[in-house]
Chains A and B, each alone.
Chain A
Amino acid sequence: MGSWQYVVLWAYVAHTALVRGESPVLPSTKYISLNPTQTTISLEKPYCSSSTAAMVYLYVVQNGATNTAVSDANIILNTTFTSSSGGKSQPYLADKFTNPQCVNFPDLSTLNVSTLVSGVLANYIVRVGGNVDCLTDPNFSGICNPPLQTGTSYRFKYVYANAGVKQFETDWSPAISTITAKTSSTIDTWPGRRSGGMIVLTSILSVLLFFLLLGFIGMVVASLTVGSSSGGDIKTYDTRISHKAPAVPQASADPVYSTTHEYSPHPEA
């Protein structure tokens, strides 16, 4: 191939890469970390796109849908959520807003200022699934953007149009799924194995209790055996006392006492 063909090839590749780079993306996780949720997905608004059309239209389709047409002969389609069965049969229009271009690029450093954050956030992201009333409210007018289904993959596309006439469309984004919620009964609350500290504590205390009981029994037995033996530490005393009254003149008729006593302490049982 000639060199100009390489140039054309390179231009084509660069163009497609640029276009693919313009497909809807999730906002930076540095700012918005818990995205997507069960029924909503927040996307970055397209800034500094190559198109200068007035309005941007956001289309949503479920991953795997066969019909992915968003326009009919360059006239954009106004398919609704209900008519497309939530994006299952064909893409539906979820939102539209003015083309932000490069002028209104949001100053993300002011996101932490609570007075400015609403405005900056509105310029920064678009929330798919952001309107819960439009399905049930009969008086609703405007584009219905109801909550998405849980655990489903969706693809998104920005279409740039002037008064309903398509100027440019991005590629379909890669599939982004909403979170599948698990039931709480799937949570296993079993603690698993015992901790080491508990095992040490229980075993040592049980052993100590056992030895105490042994000591107690030994103490009682020792006191009983010492008590029943004739020897031991008990000292016994043999005493003999005899009283003899001194001879006194028998002036009065006092009786004469003579007694013999023997004392020997007997051990307590």
Chain B
Amino acid sequence: MAAGGSSVRCFQGLLIFGNVIIGLCGLALTAECIFFVSDQQSLYPLLEATDNDDIYAAAWIGIFTGFCFFLLSIMGIIGIMKSNRRLLLAYLILMFVVYCFEAASAITAATQRDFFVKELFLRQMLDRYQNNAYSANDDELTKNKGVTGVWDNLMLQKNCCGVNGPKDWQDYNSTFRTLNSDLAFPWPTQCCVMNPPGVPKDLNACRVGLQGYLKTTGCYDVISGFMNHHAWGVAWFGFAILCWTFWVLLGTMFYWTRIEY
């Protein structure tokens, strides 16, 4: 535009600022998604066993879209400063593609989080914990081992027992019950309050259910807390980035139509 040079400059400045924010947020999204994918709590086998690990897929997509946002924002800044039509057209097309992927990631994370209810983990725990049955499908055995390992770690390190509490092991029949007598193991030994070397304080008192020798809290809070942070971090931060990017892209489209040849 020949006229209104200062307003053009102002608009350019706004778009560059928008792209800077997109670049920084993209890097932050990448870092956050790497943090989730690295699975500090080692709860991934629980999701793998439900055949529903889509929130990890959403985090993986988030890693790549975050980095793409960063690179494309640099391209956008250069294109705006040079007012280069070709560069800006490429920027817009690529940004649109990355936008679609990031929207998919955010929607997936938010949607799949709804599936993680208590009953899902309870049923999985009852069916798979200590299930060493040989099956022709090697996949099932791996899942069972994964679930058993996760629950053992959870019960020992987070001082909890079962999903709702030790009563889960009494209210329902389970693979654990078929392998262990109710007298000696009304609940797994990991549910007993432990002395530091990993030995129960008093095994008999734990079996009887004496207060102070049996962990009475359920593990669901630990599991759901982690899942919530993971899903909401990916979904809502992605949503915020996309809302901002929407306006920057609209502005850039308008700018592109106004560039001279």
Whether A114 lies near B92 (C-beta < 8 A) is no
Whether B205 lies near A118 (C-beta < 8 A) is yes
Complex alpha-carbon distance, A117 and B211, angstroms: 11
Q: How many residues of A contact B (CB 8 A)?
A: 60
Q: A38 in the interface, Cβ–Cβ < 8 Å?
A: yes
Whether A182 lies near B173 (C-beta < 8 A) is yes
Complex alpha-carbon distance, A197 and B110, angstroms: 8
Whether B249 lies near A215 (C-beta < 8 A) is yes
Q: Mind listing 19 A-B residue pairs with CB under 8 Å?
A: A35-B208, A37-B182, A38-B177, A117-B213, A125-B208, A127-B208, A132-B183, A182-B173, A183-B172, A184-B123, A184-B173, A194-B114, A205-B103, A208-B242, A212-B249, A219-B256, A222-B257, A226-B257, A267-B261
Complex alpha-carbon distance, A125 and B73, angstroms: 72
Whether B183 lies near A130 (C-beta < 8 A) is yes
**Contact size range, B:** 35 or more
Shortest beta-carbon distance, B140 to chain A, in Å? 16
Complex alpha-carbon distance, A111 and B212, angstroms: 9
What residue in chain B is nearest A265 (Cβ atoms)?
B261
Complex alpha-carbon distance, A129 and B184, angstroms: 11
Extra 18 A-B pairs, beta carbons < 8 Å, given A32-B209, A121-B210, A189-B120? A32-B208, A42-B208, A111-B211, A112-B212, A121-B208, A132-B181, A181-B170, A181-B173, A184-B172, A184-B173, A185-B123, A189-B123, A191-B114, A191-B116, A208-B246, A209-B103, A215-B249, A219-B253
Q: B166 in the interface, Cβ–Cβ < 8 Å?
A: yes
Q: A69 in the interface, Cβ–Cβ < 8 Å?
A: no
Q: B171 in the interface, Cβ–Cβ < 8 Å?
A: yes
Contact flags (1/0) for B102-113 with A, using CB distance below 8 Å? 010011001101
Complex alpha-carbon distance, A46 and B232, angstroms: 56
Complex alpha-carbon distance, A211 and B242, angstroms: 13
Q: Is the interface of B mostly helix, strand, loop or mixed?
A: helix
Complex alpha-carbon distance, A185 and B124, angstroms: 10
Q: Which residues of A are found within 8 Å of B208, using beta-carbon distances?
A: 32, 35, 42, 121, 125, 127
Whether A39 lies near B183 (C-beta < 8 A) is yes
A-B CB contacts (within 8 Å), total count: 165
Whether B261 lies near A114 (C-beta < 8 A) is no
Complex alpha-carbon distance, A31 and B211, angstroms: 5
Whether B204 lies near A118 (C-beta < 8 A) is yes
Complex alpha-carbon distance, A267 and B261, angstroms: 9
Q: A175 in the interface, Cβ–Cβ < 8 Å?
A: no
Whether B170 lies near A37 (C-beta < 8 A) is yes
Whether A118 lies near B257 (C-beta < 8 A) is no
Contact flags (1/0) for B173-189 with A, using CB distance below 8 Å? 11001000111101000
Q: B115 in the interface, Cβ–Cβ < 8 Å?
A: yes
Q: A100 in the interface, Cβ–Cβ < 8 Å?
A: no
Complex alpha-carbon distance, A39 and B184, angstroms: 11
What residue in chain A is nearest B121 (Cβ atoms)?
A189
Which residues in window 26-48 of A have CB below 8 A to B? 30-35, 37-40, 42
Q: A198 in the interface, Cβ–Cβ < 8 Å?
A: yes
Q: B133 in the interface, Cβ–Cβ < 8 Å?
A: no
Q: Which residues of A are found within 8 Å of B213, using beta-carbon distances?
A: 114, 117
Complex alpha-carbon distance, A117 and B250, angstroms: 73
Complex alpha-carbon distance, A39 and B99, angstroms: 59
Q: Which residues of A are found within 8 Å of B173, using beta-carbon distances?
A: 181-184
Q: Which residues of A are found within 8 Å of B145, using beta-carbon distances?
A: none
What residue in chain A is nearest B214 (Cβ atoms)?
A34
Complex alpha-carbon distance, A204 and B103, angstroms: 10
Whether A202 lies near B100 (C-beta < 8 A) is no
Q: Which residues of A are found within 8 Å of B130, using beta-carbon distances?
A: none
Shortest beta-carbon distance, A217 to chain B, in Å? 10
Q: Which residues of B are found within 8 Å of A130, using beta-carbon distances?
A: 183
Whether A34 lies near B123 (C-beta < 8 A) is no
Q: A147 in the interface, Cβ–Cβ < 8 Å?
A: yes
Q: B139 in the interface, Cβ–Cβ < 8 Å?
A: no
Complex alpha-carbon distance, A31 and B216, angstroms: 12
Complex alpha-carbon distance, A191 and B205, angstroms: 37
Q: Which residues of B are found within 8 Å of A209, using beta-carbon distances?
A: 99-100, 103
Point out the residue from B92, B99, B186 that lies within 8 Å of A37, measured CB to CB. Answer: B186
Complex alpha-carbon distance, A162 and B260, angstroms: 114
Most buried by B among A189, A206, A216: A189
Q: Which 5 A-B pairs have the closest CB atoms?
A: A34-B209, A184-B126, A198-B110, A39-B182, A187-B123
